Amino acid sequence: MIVSKLAQLLAERFLKISDVNKATGLARPTLTNLYYRRTKQIDMETLDKLCSYLQCSVVDILEYQEGNKKEAVEK
């Protein structure tokens, strides 16, 4: 299962979803769903904007975790 690490990344940088929203123009619901690991798919443009703004790699935002969805979300 692929899981989002956006919440952890933003916390480490003392950023809020609204900061990312204003800086990137990404829709707030898109960011919120990614933050709370509710996203089922992510657009390449979204990843590109996030990586550019946060000066990071895709692996800093997304991570593969073995197991089912419920186990991955609880970690």
Per-residue pLDDT at 67: 81
Per-10-residue mean pLDDT of the chain, 75 residues long, equals 96 98 98 96 97 97 83 54
Per-residue pLDDT at 73: 57
* DSSP state, residue 41: -
Per-residue pLDDT at 36: 97
Residue indicated by tokens 């895709």:
58
State the total domains in the chain.
Answer: 1
Which two structure tokens, joined as six digits, stand for 37?
């690991």
> Are 35 and 4 in contact, with CB atoms under 8 Å apart?
yes
Per-residue pLDDT at 69: 60
Q: Which of 2, 4, 1 minimizes the C-alpha distance to 46?
A: 4
8: left (phi over 0), alpha (psi -120 to 50) or beta: alpha
Distance, CA of 52 to CA of 29 (rounded, Å):
19
Residue 6, domain CATH: 1.10.260.40
Residue 38 is part of which domain span?
2-74
